[in-house]
Each structure stands twice: as C-alpha cells, then as structure tokens.
Amino acid sequence: MRRLRTARSPDPDDFAEEGFDRSDLEGDAIGPVSDEIPWLRAFGSDIEGLGLANPASELEPEAQRVPRQARELVALGRRLDALLLLRRHLEDSPRDAEVRAILADLLDDGDEPESAIEQLTAALTDASDPIPILVRRGAILARHGRTADAERDLRDAIRQRAGYAPAHLYLGLALLRRGLGAEAAAALREALRLAPDDPDATYYLGEAQQSVGDLSGALRTLERAATLAPSDPRAYKLMGRLLDRMGRTEDARAMHQRARAAGIA
C-alpha cells in the first residue's frame, strides 16, 4: 500500500517516512505564559523562624519608615545594613535628628563613641526635643572618661527639664565614676523619686551607698534592685561582697551562688 506523507511544517519528517507513528509524541500546544514576576518572593521568605522586614507602605512617611526598617535590620542581626540605610537617608535628609540619634546608638554599640558623639552633636541643632539627645551624649561622654563634659551636658539637661529622670541617673553615674559617692547618691535618689521602679538607678544607688561606707543601707537598696531585676547578676554579686565585708560568710556564699545562677540563666 502506498504510504502518504503529511506534514505540519514545510520540513520533511524522516521518521514518518520510515513508518514511525509520531502521534504519541505530540503534546498539547503551549499556551500563553503568565507573567511570573508578581509571584516572586524575597529570598529567605520560606525559612522558618526568619522574620523579614515588611515592605514599606505607600502611605508611610520616609521619616517613620527608615527608623522602623533600621530597627528591624538590627533585630535580624544586620547591623551594617542598618548603618548603611541610616547614612544613605541622612545624605538626602541631613536634618533628621531622630535618625541621627539611632545612628549614634548603633555607633556607640559598635565601639565608635567619638562618631556617636559627633552624630548627637549634629542632631541637637535640629531636634524638636533636645533633652533626650543631650542626656545620651552626656551618658556616652561619662562612660568614656570625659566626666567634665558629661556633667556639663547632664546638668544642662536638668536645668532645662528638672523632672527628666534619666538626666539624674546618668549624672549620678558620672559622679560615681569620679569617686563622689555622696553627690552621686543624691542624684540617684532624685532619679528614683521620679522613677521609683528603675532597676538601674536602684542598683547604682546601692553602689554609691557602699562607696561611702553605708553597708546596711546599700544592702537594703541592692535587695530592692534584685527584686526589680531578678535576672541581673550585678546586685547579687555586690551583695555577696558586702556580706563578706560584714563578716556574714555563709550569706555571702549563698549570694555568690545566686549571682552565678542568674548569669547562667
């Protein structure tokens, strides 16, 4: 029987000429391919437990979006990305005091105190509320040994807003570092009058009291600090040393054990 040849294309079909049936090799026609771009997701979105920064809302102002995204990046352990984001924003908006303050905190955490101080100094000019920035700068100055400059900032903040508890707290710390225990205790008591449940002010008041020889008062204060922050080993450690000085060896040993347990937890 004569074999007829049919083709869907002008090219010859050699397999058909040799008797092969191509019908089972033919598939359905390819339809139009949908646009896949809207279905793409950010890398890492399927990794369990990894929270990615939310995309910016079109209605969210940049002044709010940038600090939010920077904090989210820091929470994800991406400190350098947060620094880059903040610095790029400041190139376009150099008068954004809030972003400068966040950048200063990151720089200080990264052991760059001088750069942090520079950012806070620049932020003071444009801040709607300069008092918290003044106190931050004073705290950094005190922590790095520039106590005279620190006291100037902190007393200036208190002069402008006497009811701001952090200013009294950091002034007390600056005075304590200078060995002025009695003056430090007075500043810390004022901080606690304004914020009675502040564990840091309570702990440092205990330090100031023991520095001037008021061991019993320091012990009571540190017991209060341990109640406010039970997972902080500092109060237990200092109580252990005080109890040793008071001759209460067994109580001191128990307190040191509590400090170790708090440090491990």
Predicted confidence at residue 62, as pLDDT, reads 77
Predicted confidence at residue 47, as pLDDT, reads 42
Predicted confidence at residue 198, as pLDDT, reads 97
39-to-32, 45, 46 alpha-carbon distances in Å: 17, 12, 14
Predicted confidence at residue 168, as pLDDT, reads 98
- What is the chain's alpha carbon radius of gyration, rounded to the nearest angstrom? 33
Predicted confidence at residue 105, as pLDDT, reads 93
Cβ pair 86, 122 in contact under 8 A: no
Neighbours of 73 (CB within 10 A): 20
Q: Which domains does the chain have, with CATH numbers?
A: 62-123 (1.25.40.10), 129-191 (1.25.40.10), 197-265 (1.25.40.10)
Q: Which tokens in the block code for residue 140? A: 């950094």
Neighbours of 46 (CB within 10 A): 8
Predicted confidence at residue 64, as pLDDT, reads 84
Predicted confidence at residue 48, as pLDDT, reads 47
**pLDDT tens track, the chain, 265 positions:** 555 555 555 555 555 555 545 555 555 554 544 443 333 344 444 444 444 445 545 567 777 889 899 999 999 999 999 999 999 999 989 999 999 999 999 999 999 999 999 999 999 999 999 999 999 999 999 999 899 999 999 999 999 999 999 999 999 999 999 999 999 999 999 999 999 999 999 999 999 999 999 999 999 999 999 999 999 999 999 999 999 999 999 999 999 999 998 876 5
Predicted confidence at residue 38, as pLDDT, reads 38
Cβ pair 154, 170 in contact under 8 A: yes
